[in-house]
Structure 1
């Protein structure tokens, strides 16, 4: 049996930062002949190891995918994640192994679990030339005509977004997205009592700062990544870049970054709760107990129920 149950062909392990999801995902992959697919928006970048928390030593002999696949200057996005996930997912299943999706980037997780129908839309220079002389009101009317089910009204307020929205709507009328494979996930989530998770975040940040995080960001900048671009890669890179530019001393760097990561973990939890409200079934594991044993129990019950 390729899946862990007859009704599932994908195991998902999610959780907030510092929750221990990588360790659990790797161990489950080891026990069920699996391979890990990362759902982390920063671990795709080569050379961004400490700040993104790759923890590559945890994988051992377990194959992993979507880690270290593009250079830092590359603009990776949810469309490319979904495309690369589907390639890895199909390849792993074809070889008779279990895909194990592990991560905390909510949009990436939902692109898989909700089956976002994403289409890569190239720029249409002919259409853009046709739209160039239209006023904003005329562009808004054009958008409504090509997309009568328009929900995102913010596209009506900005000329550049209007043009892009028209371009996308026009393309999608003639180019249906490729059908998605059938994905039947069993989703596990690691949950910690808030004060315990806060301490785990603080301890991990202190360790990373002591073991090369600042030097990693300095190296990336020396290799040609602008400070402004580094800020795009998340909290660790944003705050360390400010420190290296003299805007924060070492103590302020730690205090402000630590607080920002705590807030980020809260936002991740909010995202996961919203996923549940929108129909994603998540089996929550107690991080302070034995999440591996709990996960194995859930998988065993799911096997007997199917």
Structure 2
């Protein structure tokens, strides 16, 4: 059984390109650790960058991308189920599994084996929370987390009121039903983090945002709206889908959309790093390598670290 290799990092750090090159070297397959790339048709805004999965003409197999319809609300419980199914299939074929992504909650739920249960919607609670601001919801969520001792649902993944309400719904359910209903098998992994200088990260984020907007991101989101997906459902996904949808329906001007979205992505990247540092405090060893290293050096570092841990 091959040890899982995990490659994580903030947005714009180049982690997907690195993971694909490592997969090409090791004849591996990639499991996505991204909460939004699961949605079909949401390509540019989620940064799937599927061209990164082709290395020297070789198509790198990937999993957990394009597995559900836009407008639906995929969740952590479903991710664990889908991850385990794909992971076990890869292991059965004796192929190297590589987990790659920037959604710390999803990655940590696998590495630390979170025990989760499917949480039903609580319409009474939702009606009580309707109309509250994101700040009020965040404060309520923090209070619940203190009672449950939860490390889930930090501000990385609750950047809209809808997402915050769902997080409160989950934490409330867990407070009222504290039993661990479903065991998740422990998965041993060597974890590599791609570190990128703050100023370089900010520049890459801005450049990438311009490129994605010029590359059809607005048209992609207008197309989803034209298919009948409600604007509020797209806004729920946050970041690009929140701000570009608000521009598409006339709530924001183009300049307002760009400025607010750019700030939001910078803040998101900062929160991602905060989550990864929290993972380290909670016991996950992350081996950090620099984003600016040549690709060959980064690939060699990943392979050497994996080989060393497998020898122990």
User: Which bracket does the TM-score occupy, shorter chain normalised?
Assistant: 0.7 to 0.9
Cα gap change, 1:301 to 1:273, in 2 (>3 Å): closer
Give 1:162 shift.
9.6
Shift of 1:123: 8.3
Cα distance, 1:248 vs structure 2: 1.9
RMSD across aligned positions (CA): 2.6
Partner of 2:88: 90
What's the TM-score once normalised by structure 1's chain length?
0.80
Alignment partner of 1:221 is 2:225: yes
Equivalent in 85, 88, 105 of residue 103 of structure 2: 105
Taking structure 2 as the reference length, what is the TM-score of the superposition? 0.79
For structure 2, which runs of at least 5 residues remain unmatched after alignment?
Answer: 125-146, 151-167
The answer (yes or no) to whether the contact 2:23–2:98 under 8 Å persists in 1 is: yes
* Structure 1 counterpart of 2:39, from 35, 45, 52: 45
- In the TM superposition, what is the alpha-carbon distance from 1:165 to its structure 2 partner? 4.9
Counterpart of 1:177?
182
Residue 168 (str. 1) matches residue 185 (str. 2): no
Please say if 1:289 is aligned against 2:293: yes
Match of 1:137 in 2: none
Would the aligned equivalents of 2:116 and 2:181 in 1 still touch at CA under 8 Å?
A: no
Deviation of 1:164 after TM superposition, in Å, equals: 4.1
Q: Which runs of 5+ in 1 are unaligned?
A: 4-8, 129-149, 154-158
Q: In terms of Rg, which structure is larger? A: 1
The residue correspondences of 1:124-163 to structure 2 (distance < 5 A) are 151=148
**Alpha-carbon spacing, 1:38–1:151, altered in 2? closer, same or farther (3 Å):** same
Task: Give the 4+ runs in structure 1 shifted more than 3 A.
Answer: 121-124, 159-169
Residue 237 in structure 1 maps to residue 237 in structure 2:
no
**How many Å apart are 1:88 and its aligned residue?**
0.6
Q: 2 CA distance for matches of 1:161 and 1:269? A: 24
**What secondary structure sits across from 1:11 in the alignment?**
strand
> How big is the shift at 1:73?
2.3
Cα distance per residue 1:90-148 (max 9 Å; x no partner): 10000010111010001101101111011235689xxx9xxxxxxxxxxxxxxxxxxxx
Distance in 2 of aligned mates of 1:89 and 1:290: 29
Flag the 1:301–1:241 CA change in 2: closer, same or farther, 3 A. closer
Cα gap change, 1:160 to 1:58, in 2 (>3 Å): closer
* CA–CA separation in structure 1 for the residues paired with 2:172 and 2:290: 48
Change (3 A) 1:255 1:163: closer
In structure 2, the CA distance between the partners of 1:58 and 1:123, relative to structure 1 (3 Å rule), is closer
Separation of aligned partners in 2, 1:255 and 1:160: 32
Matched residue, 1:77: 75
| Inter-CA distance 249–284: structure 2 relative to 1 (3 Å threshold) | same
When residues 161 and 99 of structure 1 are mapped into structure 2, their CA distance, relative to the original with a 3 A threshold, is: closer
Deviation at residue 195 of structure 1 after TM alignment: 0.4
Task: Find the residue that maps to 2:177 and give its secondary structure.
Answer: helix
SS class of match (1:186): strand
Indicate conservation of the 8 Å contact 2:113/2:186, yes or no. Answer: no
Residue 16 of structure 2: aligned partner? 22
Kindly state the Cα deviation for residue 290 of structure 1 after the two structures are TM-superposed: 2.4
Cα distance in 1 between the residues matched to 2:172 and 2:100: 36
Indicate conservation of the 8 Å contact 2:9/2:194, yes or no: yes
